[in-house]
Chain A
Amino acid sequence: MKKIIDNLKFLLLIILIGNLYANNIETLLDNFNQKNDLSQKTIESNRGHLILFNREKIEKIHAKSLKDILKTTPVIYHHENRIGIPDPLSSGAFEPYRSNFIRLYIDGVEITQGWMGSGLMLYGDVNIDFVDHIELYYLAPSFDTSVEPAYLTIFLYSKSPKRDKGAEIGLIQGSRGYGSQSLSYGDEKKNLSYMVNFSHTKAKRETIPNGTTTPLNRDFERTQLFSYIKSKNQTFHLQIMKKDTNSLAGMSYDATPIASHIDYLNLHIDYTLAIDEYWSAQFAYDWLKSDMVQLDDSPLAWSDALGSNSFNGIYKNSTYTAELTYKNRFDKHLITSGFKARYKKLDSLKKDGVETTISPFNSEGIYTIFFQDQYMLSEEELLTLGISYNHISRNGSIVDDSLLQLRLGYIYSTDNWSYKTYLYRTQFAIEPLTRYLDTTYLQDASQQTTLGITEEINYYIDSHKFKLMLLLMQDEHGLLEITSDIEGGNTKYFFTIFDYQYSFDSDNRINLQLYYALYKDIFNLDELEDTSGYLSITNSYEDFDFHNSLVWHSNSIDNRDYFDLTSSISWNISNDLTLTLKGDNILNRAKKTDLYRLNTATQTLMTPLKISPIDRRFTIELEYTF
C-alpha cells in the first residue's frame, strides 16, 4: 500500500512538473522579458497618459539621440527654433525659448537650464547611449516629480550595470561629414553600482539658403559626459555637456546674420537619499555658460544688444533645487506629500569682456508644496487626487506669482483593458529669460491657466495592443499666444492619438500611430489642424535586424504632406560586435516649419524660410562590447 501511495505521489509530482513546463521555454522567456523590462519598474500606470519607449524598442528602431525618439512622438515631435536648438513648441517667431514647460528628467531628477530655459534646450537631441528606456507623459504625471508646472514630461532612465556590465564602444560615420563616438563603462561592486558614458558628436548639417551668399548654418559639436554612482539608498549623478553651435538665424531679424554662434557649457550634479522607507531627499545643481557671438547688418533681435548690430556676451546662470518627499500607504490610500524649492540665478553677463548689469531682475525663487492621494476604490478602480501650490518670487521689482495645480483622476483596470480619465487645472508663469529680455512689458504679465479633460482607453488581446487617447484643453491668457497686446488670449485645442501594436512573434512587430489635433486661436491663427501618422515595422532574421518607419505630417498651414522615412539594417556579427547601416529622412521630405523674417527697414514680414529639423543622412555604425 505504501509503495502504491509513493508511486502516486511520484506520478502527481511528474504531472505537476509537466504542467509547469507546459509553459515552454519561449513562453517563459517572453514572460521573463516582459516582467523584467526596466520600464516595468519605473512606470506607474496610475500616473497619466504615457508613451513608452522601452529598451527593446529603442534598440530595434536604432535611436541614437533623443531627437530620434521625439520625431515620432505626437504633440511634441522634434522642432528646432531660430537658433537651431530643440524647441518643440517653437512658432518660428522672435522668441527666446518656447518649450520651457516641457520638463526633462534623468533617473527621476529634473535637468534644467534654469534662467535660460528647460533642460530640453540642450538635452532635446542628447546622445542616448546611456539610456535604458524613455517615458513621455502628457502634462505632469505626478506632483512628486515636478518642481514647476509641466505641459509635457520626459523621463530618461539610465542603463543598469546589472544588465550592461563592462564596456561598450559605438562609432558612427555619416554622410556630409557627420561623426559620433561613444564609450560606456558600467560595473557593480558589492553594494555599489556605477556607470560612465562619454560621447562626442560632430554634426555637419544641411545648410539653409537665405538669399545671401552665406546660407544659414546649424552645425554643432557636442561632447557629453554622463555618470552616476548608486548604492542601496543613495544616488549621485554628474553630467557635463559642451556644445558649440552655429546658431542658424540667431538674432538676425531677416535671418541673414554675418556671424551667429552660441557655445554652451553645462554642468549638472544631483544627490538623492532615501532617508528611510517613507522619506527621501534630493538636491540638484545646474550651471550653464552661454557664450554668444552675433553680428548682423541691422540691429539684433536681442534686447541685451541694446540696439546694436553686434553682440558678444557670455551669460552664466545657476539653479539650485532641493526636495523633501514623504510617501506612505495607509489602508487604501497612498499618500505622497512634500516640499520643493528652486532658486534660479543669472550669475553674470559679460559683454565684450566687461561685466555688465542690464536689468535688476536676475533671480527667481520657486517654492512648492504638494499633496497627492491615490485611493483604491476596489482592486480594479483607483481615484487619484493631487494639489500643488507654487509660489514664485522675483527680484528687480518684478511681480511674484502664485500658481495652483489640481489633478483629479479615475482609473479602471482589468487584465485586458483599462480606462483612465483626468481633470487638470495647471497654471504657468512666464519663464525668467523671456521676462528678463522684456521687463518693461512683462513685469506683471499674467499667468496662463490650462484646463483639461483627458481620457484613455487601452485594450490588450493576445499579441494586439490598442490605445486611444482623447485630450481636450483650454489655455486662458496663453503665454504662447502672439497678440499685439503682448498678453495672450484663449486657445482651445483637442487632440486624439490612436496607437496599435502587434507582435507576430518576439522578432517581428508592427506599430501604427495616428494623431489628429484641432487648435482654435493659436499663434496668430484662428484655427489650425494638425494630422500625422507613424508606421514602424521591426524584424529580425537570423543575425540581422531590420527597421523601417515612416512619419507622415500634414497641417492646415500649408496643406502639404511630409514624409520622413527611416530605415536601418543591423548585422550582429557576433555577440559583441554589431554593424548597422541607417538612413534618416531618406526621401528628403521630412516636415518643414516656418522661420519668420522681418525686414527691419520697412518693418514688413518677409517670406518665411521653410526648414526641416531632420537632416537627410546615411550612417554606418559599429558597436562593440567587451
Chain B
Amino acid sequence: MKKILFIILLLVELQALERDSTLKLYVGVFSALSSQNIISVYTNDREYRDIFRDSRYIKLTSRVEDANIALVTNAKSLRYILNKNIIGYNKYPILFVTDYKLLKQTPYAVGAFYWRKGRSQLLFIRDRLSHYNIRLSSDYQKFIIDEL
C-alpha cells in the first residue's frame, strides 16, 4: 500500500506498462546483454520509446544500424529489421523481442521478455547468446534455456 493517490484513468491507460518498473527491468536486461555503459537501443514501438526516452543508461537511436540492441515488439518490425540485412551473429544490433512467437520466428533473437498467462517471462537461448559471445551473470542463469 502506497501513499494515497487520486486515480483518473483513461480507457487506454488500463493496458499501459508502468513506466518506472519497466525501465528498471529493461536497463537491467540490456546491461546484461551489452558491455556498453550507455546502451544504444532501437525500437519503433511508441510506448517503449516513451519509457526509454529519459533514461540515463539507454540512448534511443532512430536508425537500427546505430543500435547495440534492437527491441522488437511485433512481426512487422522484425521483417523491417531483417530486410535491412544488417543482422548477423557477432554483429550489432542484438535482437531482443517482447513476444514468444517472435523468438521462434528468427534465430537472431537472443531472448525475450513476454507475457504468458498474465505473468511476465524472461528467457534467453544459450546457443544464440554464445553466437554473440554474450556471457550472462550468475543471477540470469535460471532464465537461460538450451532450446525452444
Query: Which of chain A's residues 142-199 have a Cβ closer than 8 Å to chain B?
Result: 157, 159-160, 162-166, 193
Chain B's closest residue to A379 (CB) is B3
Chain A's closest residue to B13 (CB) is A41
> Which residues of chain A come closer than 8 Å to B86, judged between CB atoms?
none
Whether the Cβ atoms of B15 and A193 lie closer than 8 Å is yes
Q: Give the distance to chain B from A42, nearest Cβ to Cβ, in Å.
A: 7
A483 at the interface (CB under 8 A from B): no
Whether the Cβ atoms of A13 and B21 lie closer than 8 Å is no
> Which residues of chain A come closer than 8 Å to B12, judged between CB atoms?
230-233
> Which residues of chain B come closer than 8 Å to A29, judged between CB atoms?
25, 120, 122
Whether the Cβ atoms of B3 and A380 lie closer than 8 Å is yes
B146 at the interface (CB under 8 A from A): no
Interface residues on A, range: 35 or more
Whether the Cβ atoms of A413 and B3 lie closer than 8 Å is yes
> Which residues of chain A come closer than 8 Å to B101, judged between CB atoms?
166
CA distance A233 to B118 in the complex (A): 24
Whether the Cβ atoms of A25 and B120 lie closer than 8 Å is no
Q: Which of A44, A164, A233, A415 contacts B11 (CB 8 A)?
A: A233
Whether the Cβ atoms of A329 and B120 lie closer than 8 Å is no
A235 at the interface (CB under 8 A from B): yes
> Which residues of chain B come closer than 8 Å to A247, judged between CB atoms?
none
> Which residues of chain B come closer than 8 Å to A380, judged between CB atoms?
3-4
The 7 A-B residue pairs with the shortest CB-CB distance in the complex, in nearest-first order = A55-B118, A163-B115, A35-B18, A35-B21, A334-B6, A32-B21, A160-B15
Query: Which of chain B's residues 58-116 have a Cβ closer than 8 Å to chain A?
Result: 99-101, 115-116
CA distance A54 to B118 in the complex (A): 9
> Which residues of chain B come closer than 8 Å to A234, judged between CB atoms?
11
Known contacts: A28-B28, A33-B120, A36-B120. The answer to whether A376 contacts B6 by CB under 8 A is: yes
Whether the Cβ atoms of B9 and A41 lie closer than 8 Å is yes
Q: Give the distance to chain B from A457, nearest Cβ to Cβ, in Å.
A: 11
Whether the Cβ atoms of A374 and B6 lie closer than 8 Å is yes
Q: Which of A20, A25, A379 contacts B122 (CB 8 A)?
A: A25
9 contacts between A and B (CB under 8 A): A35-B20, A41-B9, A41-B14, A42-B9, A55-B119, A165-B99, A231-B12, A277-B10, A575-B148
The A-B contact count (CB < 8 A) is 142
Whether the Cβ atoms of A418 and B1 lie closer than 8 Å is yes
Count contacts on B: residues with CB < 8 A to the other chain: 44
Query: Which of chain A's residues 52-98 have a Cβ closer than 8 Å to chain B?
Result: 54-56, 58-59
A304 at the interface (CB under 8 A from B): no
Whether the Cβ atoms of A164 and B118 lie closer than 8 Å is yes
Q: Give the distance to chain B from A493, nearest Cβ to Cβ, in Å.
A: 28
B134 at the interface (CB under 8 A from A): no
> Which residues of chain A come closer than 8 Å to B6, judged between CB atoms?
329, 334, 374, 376
> Which residues of chain A come closer than 8 Å to B116, judged between CB atoms?
575
Q: Give the distance to chain B from A163, nearest Cβ to Cβ, in Å.
A: 4
Whether the Cβ atoms of B10 and A59 lie closer than 8 Å is no
Whether the Cβ atoms of A59 and B118 lie closer than 8 Å is yes
Whether the Cβ atoms of B57 and A38 lie closer than 8 Å is no
A618 at the interface (CB under 8 A from B): no
Whether the Cβ atoms of A329 and B8 lie closer than 8 Å is yes
Whether the Cβ atoms of A235 and B11 lie closer than 8 Å is yes
CA distance A157 to B9 in the complex (A): 15
CA distance A97 to B71 in the complex (A): 54
B31 at the interface (CB under 8 A from A): yes
Q: Which of B4, B8, B14 contacts A46 (CB 8 A)?
A: B4
